[in-house]
Amino acid sequence: MRVSKIHIIILALFGMVFSIQAQDAFPLHPPMHRSPAPILPMTNWAQPLDLSDFKASIPSLFKGLSENRIIDSKHSLESFFYKLRLSREGVLKDSVRVLHVGDSHIRGHFFTESIARKLSSYFSSLWYDDFGINGAVARSFNRPDRLDRIKEFQPDLLILSFGTNESHNRRYDPNIHYRQLDELVHEIRALLPDIPIILTTPPGSYERKGRRVYKINPRTDKAVQIIKNYAMDKKMAYWDLFTVVGGSQFACDNWSKAKLLRPDHIHYLPEGYELQADLFCEAIIKAYNEYIIL
């Protein structure tokens, strides 16, 4: 049976109607009650922060300064910096958690609260907390209750600040210091296997030799070297505050001449901890910017 041209035309039109109806309708205008979400350009994800906002103001009388940076040859902090970047862009819904563990320098809160205040003004999701114990050495935290407290915090970054009290032991043994630091890190890794860790060195201190007579603690330099050696052996990040502010030759004199030490010549006035916090923030932002531009 032959099909007329009219039948062919009718069938074609019929198919076109169903074809059109099968497609989703294109909206002509956005709903009046809803504004389209802004689309951030991809370049916003890779903008380093202005380092001048974090430049520490070091007293002009400080001598023997070294470059202020975090050493992280294996890029162990990348997971932390990734979350910081998401926080900076307002994408991250969860908090970025930092736990700073250490001795009385941490227990006093001046140092850590200054860091938290400055960094949280740029990273809205940052939650910076501390866990310090007066007189603590690394071994002091190698206890189930204290390890559990570290684990419960579930940090995205852990900072360990020891060395002052180890170096004030007149029978200081570098091998024991290394072993005790290793034992603590081993226990932390068992609970938080993927946690990035930054080790820091002490700022420097004096020891008392008589009434109102203080001498530079000669063992600080040894303790600093052990912390750095351990970090390098274990491919961990470290921040060498002691060397940044002058090392064995100048650090203690710098703090003392700037009148930033307390009368015990071990702890610092709030202005001293504020300067240390500024130096740490400068170092962490340098490392963050390096991550961003890689």
For residue range 185-243, list pLDDT tens digits in order: 999 999 999 999 999 999 999 999 888 899 999 999 999 999 999 999 999 999 999 99
- Report whether 200 contacts 160 (CB < 8 A): yes
3-state secondary structure of 255: helix
- Single out the residue of 287, 281, 261, 280 nearest to residue 272, CA to CA: 261
Mean pLDDT is lowest, of 4-13, 105-114, 167-176, 283-292, for: 4-13
| Structure confidence at residue 7 (pLDDT) | 53
Q: Which residue's entry shows tokens 């994800």?
A: 45
Phi, psi dihedral angles at 289 (to 5 degrees): -65, -40
Mean pLDDT is lowest, of 6-15, 225-234, 246-255, for: 6-15
pLDDT, mean of residues 109-122: 96
Whether the per-residue pLDDT at 131 is higher than 50: the answer is: yes
pLDDT, mean of residues 102-125: 96
pLDDT, mean of residues 265-284: 98
| Structure confidence at residue 34 (pLDDT) | 37
Domain 65-293: CATH superfamily is SGNH hydrolase (3.40.50.1110)
Q: How confident is the model at residue 90 (pLDDT cuts 50, 70, 90)?
A: confident
Question: Which pair of tokens denotes residue 243?
Answer: 């060397």
- CA–CA distance, 111 with 69 (Å, rounded to integer): 18
- Report whether 74 contacts 62 (CB < 8 A): no
Whether the per-residue pLDDT at 255 is higher than 80: the answer is: yes
| Structure confidence at residue 23 (pLDDT) | 37
pTM for the whole thing? Answer: 0.85
- Report whether 136 contacts 162 (CB < 8 A): yes
| Structure confidence at residue 93 (pLDDT) | 83
